[in-house]
Amino acid sequence: MSGREAPVNLDRLEVRYGAVRAVRQVTLEVAAGTVYALLGRNGAGKSSLIRCLLGQRRADSGQAFLFGADVWDHRRAAMLRVGVVPEEPDAPPMAPVARLVAFCAALYPGWDGASVEERLRRFAIPRAATFGRLSKGQKGQVMLTLALGHRPELLVLDDPTLGLDVVARRSLYEEIVGELADRGTTVFLTTHDLAGVEGIADRVGILADGATVLDEELEGLKGRFRRLRFTGRGEEPRLDALGPVAVSRSEWGVAAVVGRWDDGAWAHWRQQGGSEEAVVEAMSLEEIFTAVVGEQTGGGR
């Protein structure tokens, strides 16, 4: 499945609030059965993009497609195939979990009651408990359970681990991985938890000031980024062939992040008189993100 028939396809999407362009000509695609992680600092445009993707806001220009259909024109049919976990768990605080389950079950013809009950049991969520008395982690687990209750083809998660402890985060990722293994569910998520998503993402997009600055397979991304450290106080090394992204100098020497790492080019550079004192380090997704968009990777949205 490719092109506009993919689970998610954004075509030159643009969102404006008055004179402010929150999303700028974003085009991306999420292939079936993959996990796509959309990253960006606070205010980068992630939430506006999600609202358009879910048909909650009409784009000012461009289009958002779910399974080949313009979501604004065909939202009801598209959303029957989508499960959503919002950033802030949202349900009536006095409603028992059992009532929330019954309400959602009535909305979806393909509701899988057995899997819902099994997931609640695994999460140790009492069906009689009212939503408002649950912890934030438990609320997130209930929202995930409801989102998966109709066996969706696409799961959309808007920063689902924000404010969760390490145990709750691990539990959520285990459920996502389980859905991928059991049914090949496609996942599209925004997140600040770069370390956690690094273990499950197939492809990564980065937004900066509303525009896409990066969109590629995670393994390829990690393969082309390196941090190089040079000791001494000599001239700053010329690394044009390796695509320098950031260069800094300190008391001990020079550190550089490059975005076009290549073993052959590196060997050639050293043969041409490059420093023998250089140390080459692989980079995590969080380190790459920081190098590309800046220092602040946490916080609210």
Collapsing DSSP to helix, strand or coil, 252 comes out as coil
What integer pLDDT is reported at residue 217 of this predicted model? 97
Render pLDDT for 83-103 as a digit per residue (tens, 0 to 9): 999 988 889 999 999 999 999
Render pLDDT for 240-264 as a digit per residue (tens, 0 to 9): 888 888 888 877 778 889 999 988 8
Q: What percent of the chain has pLDDT over 90?
A: 64
Question: What is 149-213 written as a DSSP string?
Answer: TT--SEEEEESTTTT--HHHHHHHHHHHHHHHHHH--EEEEE-S-HHHHTTT-SEEEEEETTEEE
Kindly report the CATH class assigned to 3-217.
alpha beta
Q: Where are the domains of the chain?
A: 3-217, 225-293
Backbone φ/ψ region at 68: left (φ over 0), alpha (ψ -120 to 50), beta: left
Quick one: average pLDDT of 127-153? 94
Quick one: average pLDDT of 103-107? 95
In this prediction the pTM is 0.90
